[in-house]
Amino acid sequence: MMSRFFNHKLALCGLVIILVISAFSFSAPLICRYQPDDIDIGKYLMPPTSEHWLGTDLLGRDLFSRIAYGGRISLSVGFIAVGLMAVVGICFGALAGYYAGKIDELIMRFVDIMFCFPRFILILAIISMLGPNIFIVMAVIGLTSWMGISRLVRAEILSLKERDFVLAARASGVNDFKIIIRHLIPNSMGPVFVSATLGVAAAILLESSLSFLGLGVQPPTPSWGNILMDAKACLGVAWWLSVFPGLAIFFTVLGYNLLGEGLRDLLVPRK
């Protein structure tokens, strides 16, 4: 599988993009000459120079530092939200697929109800009630995105639970919990990895959209979304304020989408 992965050019390209952006963001304290909240009014709206590689914003803050530190926030939101999404989706999908019957019917109808709500509108409503906060943003994105994974896990387990190794475990007296944890979930993780990889890209886009609207990560903590929000006031004057954070979002989402498509080719069999 590793050999096939390294021969898959698009997946490899996506992995390289992700590694470069992650290294850039998480090594921010080492590579940035300025702190992201250092204000210098005398240097506001400076274009890219040798002193400020990506220019400065309305308050004279270094844009390179803000994008680097903002990447740590945006990537962290994506990872934690997807982790929460995967845990909830796997739990519901495993229960529905293994027990079937009324439990399956109840869980799947709940999934259908969750799919009926426009996701972005639902997230906006919840955050508006609870207040914008980075931890609330992570939780809300994760708890409103698990339905697709639950369906994937359910479909896999409906097939796996009739296999000989599961029947043998059941005949040996292994209880249902151990069968689900040790045998069924590990063997149904292929589609989950693909969905989770694509979900990181979706979560980063969602967090950026919320921050752009002022309902995500709150200033002065930088994220790619609220850097773009600050750029609205001077779109026609300082092009660098919108171009560079926009490119950071673009390449990050592109990298995760390419990696996800590559993993789909490797992990999800196609008939």
- Indicate the pTM of the whole model: 0.89
CA angle 103, 108, 111 (to 5 degrees): 135
Q: What is the pLDDT of residues 64-93, one digit of tens each?
A: 999 999 999 999 999 999 999 999 999 999
Report the alpha-carbon distance of residue 68 to residue 218 in Å, rounded. 17
Residue 10 CB-half CA count within 13 A: 12
Query: How far is residue 244 from each of residues 64, 115, 219, measured CA to CA in Å?
Result: 9, 34, 18
Is 59:113 a contact under the CB 8 Å cutoff?
no
- Whether 270 shows a pLDDT value over 80: the answer reads no
The whole-number average pLDDT for the span 83-105 is: 93
At residue 119, the pLDDT reads 84
At residue 149, the pLDDT reads 94
Percentage of the residues of the chain whose pLDDT score is greater than 70: 98
Number of H helices, E strands in the chain: 14, 0
User: What value does the mean pLDDT of the chain take?
Assistant: 89
Question: Which of left, alpha, beta for 188 (phi over 0: left; psi -120 to 50: alpha)?
Answer: alpha
Q: What is the pLDDT of residues 185-207, one digit of tens each?
A: 999 888 899 899 999 999 999 98
- Whether 109 shows a pLDDT value over 60: the answer reads yes
At residue 268, the pLDDT reads 64
- Whether 126 shows a pLDDT value over 60: the answer reads yes
At residue 224, the pLDDT reads 93
At residue 125, the pLDDT reads 87
Q: 1 Cβ partners below 8 Å, 6+ apart? A: 266
The whole-number average pLDDT for the span 101-113 is: 92
Residue 49 CB-half CA count within 13 A: 9
Residue appearing with tokens 């589609």: 191
Considering the segment(s) 6-29+58-267 as one domain, its CATH architecture is: Orthogonal Bundle (1.10)
Q: What is the pLDDT of residues 204-225, one digit of tens each?
A: 999 899 988 888 888 888 999 9
The whole-number average pLDDT for the span 134-140 is: 89
Report the alpha-carbon distance of residue 195 to residue 189 in Å, rounded. 10
At residue 269, the pLDDT reads 58
Q: Is 56 helix (H, G, I), strand (E, B) or coil?
A: strand
Find the distance separating the first CA and the last CA of the chain, reported in whole Å: 18
| CB-based burial label for 67 (10 Å; 0-12, 13-18, 19+) | buried
The token duo for 258 is 């390419």
Domain positions in the chain are 6-29+58-267
Q: 49 Cβ partners below 8 Å, 6+ apart? A: 55
At residue 221, the pLDDT reads 86
Residue 5 CB-half CA count within 13 A: 13
